[in-house]
Amino acid sequence: MEEVDVEPVVTNISGIRPGKRMGFAWGPGDILVYETQNKASGPTGSGCAFIHVVRKDEDIYSPILRKLFNESHHIFVGLQTIKDDLPSKSKKPQFVSISRNYRSVIRACMEELQQAAVSANDTDMATQYGNQVSILLAIELIWNLCEVLFIDAAPAGSLLLHLLDWVRLHKSDVDEKAKGVLQSDSPAEHRDYWDVVLSYVLQGRLEDTRKMLMKQAMLQPAAKSMYKLMDSLLSKMPFYNPGGTQTLTEFDVKWRNWHEEVDRYLKDNSFASNQHLEVICKILLGDEDVLLEHKELLSTWYYFLITRLLYCHPTVKPTELHYYAQSSMMMFLDSGVPEPLDSILLAAFEFDIHQVIKDCSIALNNWWFVAHLTDLLDHCKLLQSHNLHFGSNLREFLLLEYASGLFTHHSLWQCAVDYFDHCPEFGRVYLELQIERVPLDTERKALKVLRICEERQMSEQVRSICKIMAMRAVRNNRLGSALSWSIRAKDAAFATLISERFLQDYCAKGTFSDLDLIDNLGSTMLLSDRLTFLGKYREFHKLYGEKCFSDAAKLLLSLMTAKIAPQSFWMTLLTDALPLLEQKEVIFSAEQTYELMYCLEELTSSLITAASGSGRPMQEEDVEVTKVEMLRLALARNLASAIVKEGTMQT
Amino acid sequence: MFVARSIAADHKDLIHDVSYDFHGRRMATCSSDQSVKVWDKSENGEWHCTASWKTHSGSVWRVTWAHPEFGQVLASCSFDRTAAVWEEIVGESNDKQRGLSHWIKRTTLVDSRTSVTDVKFAPKHMGLMLATCSADGVVRIYEAPDVMNLSQWSLQHEISCKLSCSCISWNPSSSRAHPPMFAVGSDDSNVTYGGKVQIYEYNENTRKYSKAETLMTVTDAVHDIAFAPNLGRSFHVLAIATKDVRIFKLVPLRRESTTTGPTKLEVQIVAQFDNHNSQVWRVSWNITSTLLASSGDDGCVRLWKANYMDNWKCTGILKGDGSPLTGSSGQPSAMSTVVGSSIQTSQNALNGMSPPTDKAVGLTLTRCKELGFCPPAAGCVCGAGGVFLLMHVKRDVSTYLM
């Protein structure tokens, strides 16, 4: 490919002095710049401290274009699901219909922008909308031509019919004009009358031409026969019928006969007395000079090209198009310089797909068009055949760029996910890098992002999001939320830390918060020892509340004997045992009581060693001592009753 | 590209660094006025300063955010020979109402005897770690073993680089195949001292960092250095700001399992640009490393982009034009309502300047009416005088294909 050196775009930043060094920082979708200086040059005291937010890809901030992005996203996803194994013959109509869907989205968007432009109060806004309409118009024009030439790839004969449709669709100003003419009191005398007639002829709309001419014929009874002759020539002009039985050669013979007939009438001056009819006759014969005299009506070289093909080479083959296109452009523009749109369309007529994509990327300020068109062409297997090593590489490159742009938008990023999903090489990594940057403003948004990551088994991102949310919740003292996020993150260390906080809270307040969560931990409590303890300890409280005393007692004891409870918590557990020991009924068996006593001894011995080291206040120690004494008493009494009870039962 | 808004930073001296948080909703600025400011972005995209405090007793060179997994944590480094770690604590309700937040100093890292020139948090998979480098040529790596207690930082490694250090960058790769790695640059201008960029790698066995490579071809002073996001590749990409912009590829060579030394790296230069034609001070990658930005003494920020065949090109330039800001309120309200335009950059439109004449290509091929979009009665709004202002050359989107 030709190496073209395009100058980089320069963006001027007001408020920064020319030549001054700038600092910068990348953000999502923008870049921050500020004036700064060499570290060594020391303080200058200049308070010129503005930070400028420089943004790109402004299109995504337009609410109407957002619809274009949203709706084309659905079409894109649909296209990706077309099976590769279908025979290409049956796929073609699908591709054409997808191409049409894309175009209709563009059209809908244009109409809406047009409405907005008309109703905008502010002229700046109106101009902006107008500019966007212009860009979409061009995009649709190019896309439609690409559809005809590359996707539909009509053979000789049908090709011209498609190109005529293309012209008629994009050059519909004649209909507006015709409406004006027909609504006037005397259409045939309207000043635009002949313009309309000629425009119809140039577009090959011969039925419309005949209807129009009829009006003139009625005004000129004298020339009736001449009009009748023209009418018959127009009605006889053969058009190829791709669905019919006629072969292209048969059509060609028929067309040549008709052409000769028209030529005969021109030569024998049948229309010499009516300059308008004579011009029509010459157009029918494809007289290039006459065509070029009507540049105003043709408006562009590519419409000139199609008219020329219609009346000179109706059986043009795709491979011959480039020749006629080039010459038509030269003839029409004369010495004028082709503009970007001209070059793009010419490249299309030359079947140089890569050049079309390249030129479009240069001329248009968004990735939407090139990304979607390239993707569609790639599905049609057109990129491979044209450029061996650019194929899907180019497709992926453009899709990644487009999707990355979407990702900076607060709602469009969700569409971008699907684009990344369909980029086999780098899509996943891009998604991983982008999705973890989506701001997790609310729990709801976090869950949304999380679901996307979970669906794609992005375990690291899932973990990270949960961890961020857990950390945020802890910082705001929302322990329940923090715990559930760290369980989701499978973060044992953090779950331990939060369980600890819960237990501290319980010790301080005597109640648990977030009961729902703790009651329903289920097997997730196994994530960390402390969490298990928290869950089990809460279970004990539940059993106790439900007066299942013996189960509660069993559980309480097991928490200590199985070392699930941290020793720092044993005193609390033993204190919890007190009311059970004090019940009238014996709850702890003798053996269980021995175990409880053993726990108490273990605890007190470790407390003594700890206390000797630290200078704890006397009062606190006194409370502890009283507690231990109370426990000992209760245990001894319970042991006595248990032994008595067990002895009684055995006999 | 266009200036969407300008923020009055209100620092009393030069700004040295601006840093976005991980999600791009907050930023921190630091300055020679010895302070750090934290800014929060509101729903409508405006930035509000929510904290501003004196952090050091000298110019603050760099400020950087820890990953949000570790909470709201900043690190700063300064000419006063220290680095510091700051944590935001959830303030009292009346502070929240006033939109203020509290940052408290968790630790001061005082090991350096000279100016601390850079501070960077390690990739999050390594835990809460940070590296500092200083003018005395030492890289220090600290770790907070308990993420809930940021007042405890232990100095894990002290690596002498022999040359005055100016910048440091962690390799962000979290692949198991890649041991922790960082690159450090020196701004020593004596070219006879050899390579100014050193790559260090962590060795599991010795539990130490050792030098894996010195980029011998970079002999001039280095001012900034940046590893690119890894994108799951086997090799690493490193950008360097020296007298020019350079991009290197570091390809780890397959190592025999018996050797215990650092991974050997094959160093390949990918691109070298002297467009700044002066010293380059900053290099930085965007999130997906598709764009590299650099700034130099020519007063330009240049944007570099690779096409799909890995050819790098300058695609954009930002430069000061000296014109005063209109309505220097700091957040001109008009700027926030600009909806995407194409022909005129809104910056120019808002500053009352004439539209850019450089290479804006207005197509005058056809009129909208002919394309059937403007009913004559509606009055054509498609560009001035019904001219079909189709496209303008917007090359930041484009040069990738060349």
C-beta atoms of B391 and A138 within 8 A: yes
State the Cα–Cα distance between residues B186 and B197, nearest whole angstrom. Answer: 7
pLDDT band at A140 (very low <50, low <70, confident <90, very high): very high
Burial A220-241 (b: 16+ CB within 10 A, else e): eeebeebbebbbebbeebbebe
What is the spatial distance between Cα A306 and Cα B326, in angstroms, rounded to a whole number? Answer: 52
B158 by Cβ neighbours in 10 Å (0-12 / 13-18 / 19+) ranks as exposed
Per-residue pLDDT reduced to its tens digit, A218-271:
888 888 888 999 999 999 999 998 888 888 999 999 999 999 999 999 998 888
Q: Do B397 and A366 touch (CB under 8 A)?
A: yes
**Which bin fits A612, alpha (ψ -120 to 50), beta or left (φ > 0)?**
alpha
- Cβ distance of B284 and A26 shorter than 8 Å: yes
Q: What's the pLDDT score for residue B375? A: 36
Give which of A2, A7, A39, A65 to mutate to test B binding, by max B Cβ within 10 Å: A39
- Tokens matching residue A493: 């260390």
In sequence order, which ranges of A510-589 are alpha helices (DSSP H)? 515-519, 529-545, 549-561, 570-581
Task: Mark yes or no for CB contact B340/A128 under 8 Å.
Answer: yes
Nearest CB partner across the interface for B231, out of A131, A429, A467: A429
Task: Show the tokens assigned to B181.
Answer: 């790695």
User: Quick one: which of A244, A162, A176, A242 has its CA closest to A204?
Assistant: A162
Residue of B nearest to A396 (CA): B308
CA-nearest of B244, B303, B233, B286 to B269 is B244
Q: Are B29 and B39 in contact (CB under 8 A)?
A: yes
Q: Which domains does chain B have, with CATH numbers?
A: 15-359 (2.130.10.10)
Q: Where are the alpha helices (DSSP H) in A61-153?
A: 63-80, 88-119, 123-146
Distance CA A345, CA A367 (A): 18
Chain B: give the shortest CA distance to residue A596, in Å. Answer: 35
A619, exposed or middle or buried, with CB in 10 Å at 0-12, 13-18, 19+?
A: exposed
As given in the structure block, the two tokens for residue A106 are: 């563009």
Name every chain B residue with its beta carbon within 8 A of the beta carbon of A396. 308
Q: Is A578 on the interface with B (CB under 8 A)?
A: no
Q: What's the complex ipTM?
A: 0.81
Q: Does residue A347 register a pLDDT over 50?
A: yes
pLDDT of A7 reads 76
pLDDT higher for B258 or A309?
A309
Closest-approach residue (CA) in chain B for A362: B398
CB A454 within 8 A of CB A462: yes
A3 CB within 8 Å of a chain B CB = yes
Mean pLDDT across the stretch A340-360?
Answer: 91
* CB A5, CB B275: distance < 8 Å: no
Query: What is the count of residue pairs from A and B with beta carbons less than 8 Å apart?
Result: 411
DSSP letter at B109?
A: E
- List the one residue out of A129, A126, A200 whose CA is nearest residue A164: A200
Alpha carbons within 13 angstroms on the beta-carbon side of residue A123 total 5
Among chain B residues, the shortest Cα distance to A471 is held by: B71
In this complex, do A135 and B390 lie within 8 Å of one another by their Cβ atoms? yes
Q: Please name the member of B24, B315, B369 whose beta carbon is closest to the beta carbon of A439.
A: B24
pLDDT at B236: 95
Share above pLDDT 70 across residues of chain A, in percent, rounded to a whole number: 92
Sign of CA dihedral B73, B109, B170, A497: negative
Q: Contact A596/A557 with Cβ under 8 angstroms?
A: yes
Closest-CA distance, A383 to chain B, in angstroms, reads 15
Looking at the complex, report in whole angstroms how far the Cα of residue A60 sits from the nearest Cα belonging to chain B: 7
Helix (H) or strand (E) holding B68: none
* Tens digits of pLDDT across chain B (402 residues): 788 888 888 898 899 999 999 999 999 999 999 999 999 998 888 999 999 999 999 999 999 999 999 999 999 999 999 999 999 987 665 666 666 789 999 999 999 999 999 999 999 999 999 999 999 999 999 999 988 899 999 999 999 999 999 999 999 999 888 999 999 999 998 988 889 999 999 998 899 999 999 999 999 999 999 999 988 888 999 999 999 999 999 999 876 655 667 788 999 999 999 999 999 999 999 998 889 999 999 999 999 988 777 788 898 999 888 777 764 333 333 322 222 223 223 333 223 333 333 333 333 223 333 333 333 333 333 333 323 333 333 333 333 343
Tell me the DSSP string of B229-293. P-TT-SSEEEEEESSSEEEEEEEEPP--TT--SPPPEEEEEEEEE-TT-S-EEEEEE-TTSSEEE
Instruction: Inspect the interface and report whether the beta carbons of A134 and B4 lie closer than 8 Å.
Output: no
B316 and A8 in contact by Cβ < 8 A? yes
CB neighbour burial string for A528-553, b if at least 16 within 10 angstroms, e if fewer? bbbbbbbbbbbbbbbbbeeeebebbb
DSSP state of B83: E
Q: What residues form DSSP beta bridges with A26?
A: A31
> Looking at CA atoms only, how far is residue A72 from chain B in angstroms?
19
Given a cut of 60, whether residue A177 has pLDDT beyond it is yes
Cβ contact, residue pair B340, A61, below 8 Å: yes
Instruction: Determine, for residues B13 and A47 on separate chains, whether the beta-carbon distance falls below 8 Å.
Output: yes
| Chain B residue numbers touching A26 (CB-CB < 8 A) | 20, 284-287, 291, 293
Tens digits of per-residue pLDDT, B240-249?
A: 999 999 999 9
B94 alpha-carbon distance from chain centroid: 34
Those residues with Cβ within 8 angstroms of residue A630's Cβ, 6 or more apart along the chain or in another chain = A578
So what's the pLDDT on residue B379? 35
Chain A residues 135-194 with CB within 8 Å of chain B: 135, 137-138, 141, 170-173, 175-176
Q: What CA–CA distance (Å, rounded) separates A410 from B395?
A: 25
Nearest CA in chain B to A44: B13
Helical (H) or strand (E) element with A168: helix A158-170
Any B CB within 8 A of A256 CB:
no
Both tokens of A585, joined, read 């009924």
Whether residue B166 contacts residue B222, with contact meaning beta carbons closer than 8 Å, is answered with yes
Burial string for A142-157 (b: 16+ CB within 10 Å, else e) reads bbbbbbbbbbbbbebb
Amino acid occupying residue A212? M
Q: A53 CB near a chain B CB, below 8 Å?
A: yes
Nearest chain B residue to A401, by CA: B290
Task: List, in sequence order, every beta strand (DSSP E) within A438-541.
Answer: none
Q: Which two tokens stand for residue A366?
A: 């968004």
> Which string of b and e fits A572-600 if b means at least 16 CB within 10 Å?
ebbebbeebbeeeebbbbbebbebbbebb
Residue A543: helix, strand or coil by DSSP? helix
Closest CA to A143 of A309, A375, A316, A464: A375
Please report which confidence band the pLDDT of residue A614 belongs to, taking 50, 70 and 90 as the band edges: low
Q: Determine the distance in angstroms separating the CA of B155 from the nearest CA of chain A, rounded to an integer.
A: 23
B316/A365 Cβ within 8 A: no
Which residues in chain A touch residue B11, judged by CB atoms under 8 angstroms apart?
A: 47, 49
Average pLDDT over residues A61-73: 86
Contact B359 A10 (CB under 8 A): no
Q: A248-267 and A224-236 are packed helices; what angle lies between their axes, rounded to 10 degrees?
A: 160
Contacts of B354 in chain A (CB under 8 A): none
What whole-number distance in Å separates Cα of residue A537 and Cα of residue A543?
10
pLDDT at B392: 32
Min Cα–Cα distance to chain A from B27, Å: 9
Residues on chain A touching B71 (C-beta within 8 angstroms):
471-472, 475
Residues in B touching A65 (Cβ below 8 Å): 340
* Cβ pair A360, A369 in contact under 8 A: yes
Place of tokens 């009507």: A294
Asked if A44 lies within 8 A of B13 by C-beta distance, the reply is yes
Closest CA to B238 of B263, B214, B202, B219: B214
Q: Which of residues 585-644 of A touch B (CB under 8 A)?
A: none
In 3D, which of B43, B148, B155 has the Cα closest to residue B106?
A: B148
Classify the phi-psi angles of B165: left when phi > 0, otherwise alpha if psi is within -120 to 50, otherwise beta: beta
CA A403 to chain centre: 6
Q: For B286, which residue in chain A has the nearest alpha carbon? A: A26
Q: Which residues have C-beta within 8 Å of that of residue B99, sequence separation ≥ 6? A: B40, B48, B50
Answer whether B320 sits within 8 Å of A132, measured CB to CB. no
Which structure tokens are listed for B62? 């760099």
Please name the residues in contact with A175: beta carbons below 8 A apart, sequence gap of 6 or more.
B372
**Contact at CB, A61 and B391, closer than 8 angstroms:** no
A488 Cβ partners below 8 Å, 6+ apart? A450, A462, A466
Chain A CB contacts of B402 under 8 Å are 1, 3-6
What is the Cα A58 distance to its own chain's centre?
A: 15
Distance, in Å, from the CA atom of B138 to the CA atom of B111, rounded to the nearest integer, reads 10
Name the phi and psi angles at A19, rounded to 5: 85, -10
Q: How many residues does chain B have?
A: 402
Cβ atoms of residues B116 and B164 within 8 Å: no
Higher-confidence residue of A385 and A226: namely A226
Q: A104-122 pLDDT, tens per residue? A: 999 999 999 989 888 888 8
**B142 or A489: whose pLDDT is higher?**
B142
Between residues A613 and A330, the one the model is more confident about: A330
**Dihedral sign (CA B104, B110, B113, B119):** negative
| Average pLDDT in chain A | 87
The reply to whether residue A22 touches residue B301, judged by beta carbons under 8 angstroms, is yes
Residue A245: predicted pLDDT: 85
In the block, residue with structure tokens 């497709």: A395
Assign B217 to helix, strand or coil. Answer: coil
The three-state DSSP-derived secondary structure of A330-344 is HHHHCCCCCCHHHHH
CB contacts of B38 in chain A (<8 Å) are none
